[in-house]
Chains A and B, each alone.
Chain A
Amino acid sequence: MTDLELSGVSRWYGNVVAVNDVTMTLGPGVTGLLGPNGAGKTTLLHMMAGFLAPSRGAVTIDGSPTWRNPAIYRKLGLVNEREAVYGFLSGKEFVRASAKLHGLPDADAATRRAIALVEMTDAQDRRMDTYSKGMRQRMRVAAALVHDPAVLLLDEPFNGMDPRQRMHMMELLHSLGAQGRTVLFSSHILEEVEQVSGTVQVIVAGRLAASGDYRTIRRLMTHRPHVFAIRSSDDRRLAVALMASPSVAGVTLGKDGLTVHAGDYGTFTRALPRIALDEGVRVRQLIPSDESLESVFSYLVSA
């Protein structure tokens, strides 16, 4: 169990505040770091990785500061945003050099294991400047994993990967999280975050706008009506009955069923079965249609 903790962390450049008073604790599992461009995600990741000093506050891993503390890299693996690699080395040499720099007792075995984990064994002897962007990215992940770190930070890890490689990387992150590692990755593609992790940290304009499971975050946004898509045995009859319920703010009747705007998630979901039963209508489908990460994210950014 390794915790990455940020307490009251701010970072400014002159008069520009890049990260503003962020406090969060990341525990085992996979967490997605989300935010629009320029929100401060990379600045935050650099501070977590010990490559930038916080102007105020502290970033610690199990109580040890990450800034000016090279020993922290025994627990930390980093895949940063810049894709530069030593193109003159083969992939195997690159990962093996990482293993040796970590002082691993059996660098060769660790190298084989890490390269197999990212499915790059077949291409391991080629020079890295002959790799595609996605292959380089996977070798960088292998190098970051070679010492079996408890915390793994990845900045835009899916960049340049084809769909199959992307799927494989998602599975890899899932399994690393399931093994009890603390994995944080940033991405600007919401579907990626949605597929890999339910837990998100949302950064907007340098501030932590929301934190936790995005479905829970959505339900806590009580000022925004929840939108549900409903199909039933008699949509028109159900629409009339729902309009009479105080938990419903509006109903749209379409050819694909009803779109219901409910003021409160809990009250509506408790009221619907009762209303349907009273009206003798069978509900065939009930989908919260704005609980996607995309809706949650757009609500947070526009708030």
Chain B
Amino acid sequence: MNMTIAWITARGLFGRKRFLLLLPMPIILIGVTAVGLAFDAPAADLAETVLLGLGVATVLPLVSLIVGTGVLGSEIDDGTVVHILAKPIPRGRIIMAKLAVAASVSAVATAVPMFAAGAMIGGTRLGAGFALACVAGALAYSALFLALSVLTRRPVLLGLLYVVIWEGLISNLVAGTRTVSVQHYVIRFAAELSGSEWFRTTVSTAVAAVMTAVVTVAGTWLAARRLRSFSVAGETS
């Protein structure tokens, strides 16, 4: 991994206003958990509503989308990516550095509040299970959204469509589509690692593990391949 690119990427990410959008989400997650516990909501209901509905289905994909499309997409939009591309660095190494930053930031921003919320609801094993599942999910989502930011001009829109329409709607109605839903891989990992009976998905642990690896590797490979043929359009002259 190229540390200079990772350093520039992290500085750029933390310096953008878009990054501030990440702050309220973990706070909301922990706040809603605290409110639910204060009103004696049943742990199973709270786990489903907060950990799955809010954490896995909303906070994790949204944080990953904001960060994953921001690490390279913003540089492509404003043209600064040329400074990195006009260097003798294999494109795969550029993508790996971007992915490392995106996945790390998304993982920390989601795993920490998920651990806190899970521990508050059902103990540290539940919290740790969700935190580790979010780390795996952050990696797969980041690779997916990073690839979208190089392959398309509308990565945020397409990412939102994937999260809201595909994962939020279709994969909950049609069981067969869950094998291509990162959300269901995360649910399977969380269920497995926490040992909890509260969470169910039709995706097996083996499929979830293989598909997480496939999404991560395919996203990284596609992004690197596209970046090798990155063109700058002639604008005015």
Q: Which residues of A contact B (CB under 8 A)?
A: 18, 35-43, 46, 49, 51-53, 68, 70-74, 76-78, 80-82, 84-86, 88-89, 94, 97-98, 100-103, 143-144, 186, 188
Cβ B86 vs Cβ A73 within 8 A = yes
Cβ A100 vs Cβ B88 within 8 A = no
Cβ A98 vs Cβ B87 within 8 A = yes
Find chain A residues with CB under 8 A from B229 CB.
Answer: 53, 68
Find chain A residues with CB under 8 A from B86 CB.
Answer: 49, 51, 73, 76-78, 144
Cβ A81 vs Cβ B235 within 8 A = yes
Cβ A46 vs Cβ B78 within 8 A = no
B83's contact among A49, A70, A85, A188, by CB below 8 Å, is which? A85
Contact with A along B74-102 (1 / 0, CB 8 A): 00001110111111111100000000000
Binds A, one of B1-9, B124-132, B205-213: B1-9
Contact sample, A vs B, 20 pairs, CB 8 Å cutoff? A36-B237, A38-B236, A38-B237, A39-B237, A40-B234, A42-B236, A46-B232, A46-B234, A70-B90, A73-B87, A78-B82, A81-B236, A88-B11, A94-B83, A98-B83, A98-B87, A101-B84, A101-B87, A102-B87, A188-B237
B93 (CB) vs chain A CBs: closest residue:
A70
Most interface-central of A36, A74, A101 (chain B CB within 10 A): A101
The 6 closest A-B pairs by CB, nearest first: A43-B234, A82-B79, A84-B79, A88-B15, A101-B87, A51-B232
Q: Does B198 sit within 8 A of A, measured CB to CB?
A: no
Interface bracket on B: 20 to 34
Cβ A89 vs Cβ B90 within 8 A = no
B86 (CB) vs chain A CBs: closest residue:
A78
Nearest chain B CB to A192 CB, angstrom units? 15
Given contacts A42-B234, A52-B234, A80-B82, 7 further A-B contacts (CB under 8 A): A46-B232, A71-B88, A78-B86, A82-B82, A88-B15, A98-B87, A101-B89
A68-B228, A102-B87 known; A88 and B235 CB under 8 Å? Answer: no
- A51 to B79 alpha-carbon distance, docked (Å): 12
Chain B at the A interface: mostly helix, strand, loop or mixed? loop
A155 (CB) vs chain B CBs: closest residue:
B237
Find chain A residues with CB under 8 A from B12 CB.
Answer: 86, 88
Cβ A86 vs Cβ B237 within 8 A = no
B91 (CB) vs chain A CBs: closest residue:
A70
Contact with A along B15-27 (1 / 0, CB 8 A): 1000000000000
Nearest chain A CB to B131 CB, angstrom units? 30
Q: Which residues of B contact A (CB under 8 A)?
A: 2, 4-5, 7-8, 11-12, 15, 78-80, 82-91, 228-237
B16 (CB) vs chain A CBs: closest residue:
A88
B14 (CB) vs chain A CBs: closest residue:
A88
Find chain A residues with CB under 8 A from B230 CB.
Answer: 51
A78-B82, A86-B83 known; A18 and B89 CB under 8 Å? Answer: no
Find chain B residues with CB under 8 A from A82 CB.
Answer: 79, 82
Find chain A residues with CB under 8 A from B231 CB.
Answer: 46, 51-53
- A218 to B8 alpha-carbon distance, docked (Å): 49
Find chain B residues with CB under 8 A from A88 CB.
Answer: 11-12, 15
A42-B235, A101-B4 known; A84 and B78 CB under 8 Å? Answer: yes
Find chain A residues with CB under 8 A from B87 CB.
Answer: 70, 73, 98, 101-102
- A46 to B83 alpha-carbon distance, docked (Å): 14
Nearest chain B CB to A139 CB, angstrom units? 11
Find chain B residues with CB under 8 A from A41 CB.
Answer: 237
Cβ B91 vs Cβ A97 within 8 A = no
Cβ B88 vs Cβ A84 within 8 A = no
Most interface-central of A18, A72, A84 (chain B CB within 10 A): A84
- A82 to B82 alpha-carbon distance, docked (Å): 9
- A81 to B233 alpha-carbon distance, docked (Å): 11
Nearest chain B CB to A140 CB, angstrom units? 8
- A288 to B49 alpha-carbon distance, docked (Å): 85
Find chain B residues with CB under 8 A from A76 CB.
Answer: 86
A39 (CB) vs chain B CBs: closest residue:
B237
Find chain A residues with CB under 8 A from B15 CB.
Answer: 88
Nearest chain A CB to B63 CB, angstrom units? 21
- A71 to B90 alpha-carbon distance, docked (Å): 8
Nearest chain B CB to A78 CB, angstrom units? 5
A43 (CB) vs chain B CBs: closest residue:
B234
Find chain A residues with CB under 8 A from B11 CB.
Answer: 86, 88-89
Find chain A residues with CB under 8 A from B91 CB.
Answer: 70
Find chain B residues with CB under 8 A from A98 CB.
Answer: 83, 87
Nearest chain A CB to B82 CB, angstrom units? 6
Find chain B residues with CB under 8 A from A52 CB.
Answer: 231-234
Nearest chain B CB to A149 CB, angstrom units? 10
Nearest chain B CB to A15 CB, angstrom units? 16
